[in-house]
Amino acid sequence: MRLFAAAYPPRAAREHLVHALAEVRALTGTTLRWGDPEQWHVTLGFYGEQPEGAVPDLAEHLQEVARGFPPLRVGLHGAGSFSGTTLWIGLGGDTAALADLMHGCSLNPEERSRQRAHLTVARTSRTERTRQAKERRRGSRVRAHSGPELAHVVHALSVYEGPEWTLGEIRLVSSVLGEGRSGGALHTDMDRYVLTGA
């Protein structure tokens, strides 16, 4: 099974972001494939494919991490893109403590140096990726941010400031690709671990 540790923004934070995205979504047409707000999460540690027997060890690890951190105050803040194909919203607030929490949840030392707290909200559509590939084959220059639409969205959302909330738990989540709404991943909570700072 495919597993990761995550924190989920509360409904009020997601609804605030949905409202902020409404206008820019209208500008992108079919260039971007937007994620399901119910599935939006901050990945704290990604474990990939794991056998069922790995779940107890991961649970013990995350329980220990959760005991080492008090609840954090965070909020969605700013935007960016990865590789010109993925639109993300960043986080503000207790970012140093959040980075430490992510490092604690990660099992891979190489992943720790690459982690950036973010919420993925959209990816370039298959149609857009096909268009880019055709341009590359013809020797045309492909814009760095997959066309003006993504660049415009990132610019428009760079000043986004969502409401703060208390990040008070870590969730261990299983993910089944292609089983969710609109062909996305289906996420199922395996367990939750409350941040106690004890």
- Which residues form the catalytic set? 41, 118
**How far is residue 93's CA from residue 80's CA, in Å, rounded to a whole number?**
17
The burial class, CB within 10 Å (0-12 / 13-18 / 19+), for 168 is: middle
Tokens of 133: 């590939």
Please state the separation of Cα 119 from the chain's center in Å.
3
Are 45 and 170 within 8 A, CB to CB?
A: no
C-alpha to C-alpha distance for 31 and 57, rounded to whole angstroms: 41
Q: List the beta bridge partners of residue 80.
A: 88
* Amino acid present at 52: E
Tokens of 121: 């909200």
In 9-160, the DSSP E strands lie at 32-34, 42-49, 72-82, 86-93, 118-124
